Amino acid sequence: MRTVTYGALAALGLTATAYAAPALKAEVGLEATAYFQDGTQDQSSKQASLRLLGDARWDWNGRDDSFTLKPFARLDSQDRERSHADVREALWLHARGPWQTRVGIGQTFWGVTEGAHVVDIVNQTDTLETPEGDARLGQPMLNVGWEREAHLVDVFVLPGFRERPFAGSDGRLRLPWVVNTDAATYESGAGRNHVDLAARYQFSANGLRLGLSGFRGTSREPELQPVVDMTKVGPGFFAPGYQPELQPYYPQITQWGVDLQLTRGDWLWKLEAIDRDGFGPKRFHTADAGLEYTQVGVFGSRCDLGWLLEGMYDSRQEQATHPFEHDVLLGWRLAFNDEASSDLLLAVLRDTEHPETYVRLKGSTRLNDRLKLAVEARVLATRDPQTPFAVLASPDLDYKLRSFGDDSHLRAELTWFY
């Protein structure tokens, strides 16, 4: 299946090049990260990496047809798993009237909220890039879309599965036990070759955007199952040099989702909610809902200040596999509206039942036509991390950020555009 897919993409690319010269773009990013302290498993407090992103586009047939290629690569100084390459997009698009057809490797995002992207499911999350799930791996797909006035229908056939990447033993923002991605197992006998199906209907009119979606196939999030050699377990510790592992298991799931955004003047009302069956022992529901209010020209300046408030909920409560099962997000988004396109986002996520807080600061500005500076900071206020043995003996299900308690950091990236 994979050989056929890549062969078809290569044929499409060669066909496109015969019609017109491509529009070429490229990015080179140099990233430096400083952690406030060494990692719980003695990882380094300093990390650097080099990021490459290409973008080539061919148009032909009166622009009814196009082929886009976006290769990506990162080389990291500490984490071998974070040094990786991917095809973010290698996609042929044909548009005619109300119909659009996309074939190849593509990116599709569903959702409207800031805190958690609970509805988004077509692409696999690239957790090595950002822990918030903002980056995605390319997904092989056949997508047929129909759009007429306020209505949009998208149907996806997804013939190849991408496993979720995880940080290696020297990486940061990782669990106490290393995830052995080479040992992944699947509920489906077809494994990574299972063909998944997804569809979404969107209605947009009078400031309302309503999306209804469904998905049936391999879960993008794996269940992480501990693998422990009990002969290496002693009274209160593991044998010297021994490290247990987590083995990913990808079940078959059915997910129904709704995403909604309502614009009324300077107010945005947002909702994402899902019902998922097949992941874990029972069906569950997850939601993120809130609002955003924008003050235009705040304090008499040309800046716009947005106020964000969201609440997150997961019916599994302490059994949830993410840390935001009963949390509140309060945030501020500042757009400077200058020639450098400067912006700043501060988000504070607070657990409503336990004193645990996650703070994220993100900003960027263009230095000139070729250079952009982006800065991120993450602060995790939680209990001290547990040792790997303590996680086995008495896992803390209340403080889900505890494993990352030593991973607060400051990150800067300088990007050169070509």
Closest by alpha carbon to 131, among 378, 413, 415?
Answer: 378
Concatenated DSSP letters of 158-174 = E----PPP---TT-SS-
DSSP 177: S
Residue 12: its pLDDT value, please? 55
Task: Output the CA torsion 86→88→92→96 (10° steps).
Answer: 170
Q: What is the pLDDT of residues 322-353, one digit of tens each?
A: 999 999 999 999 999 999 999 999 999 999 99
Residue 1: its pLDDT value, please? 46
In the chain, the domains with their CATH numbers are 2-417 (2.40.160)
Residue 4 binned pLDDT confidence (cut-offs 50, 70, 90): very low
Q: What is the pLDDT of residues 88-117, one digit of tens each?
A: 999 999 999 999 999 999 999 999 999 999
Q: Quick check: 281 and 251 in contact, CB under 8 A?
A: no
Whole-prediction pTM: 0.92
- The pLDDT of 284-306, averaged and rounded, is 96
Residue 29: its pLDDT value, please? 98
End-to-end CA distance of the chain: 35
- The pLDDT of 295-307, averaged and rounded, is 95
Name the more confident of 141 and 7: 141
Concatenated DSSP letters of 6-73 = HHHHHHHHHHHHTT-PPEEEEEEEEEEEEESS--TT---SEEEEEEEEEEEEEEETTTTEEEEEEEEE
* Average pLDDT taken over every residue of the chain: 93
Residue 224 binned pLDDT confidence (cut-offs 50, 70, 90): very high
Closest by alpha carbon to 387, among 243, 216, 286, 215?
Answer: 243
Residue 39, number of CB atoms within 10 A of its CB: 19
Q: What is the pLDDT of residues 365-413, one digit of tens each?
A: 999 999 999 999 999 999 999 988 898 888 999 999 999 999 999 999 9
The angle subtended at Cα 258 by Cα 253 and Cα 264, nearest 5°, is 160
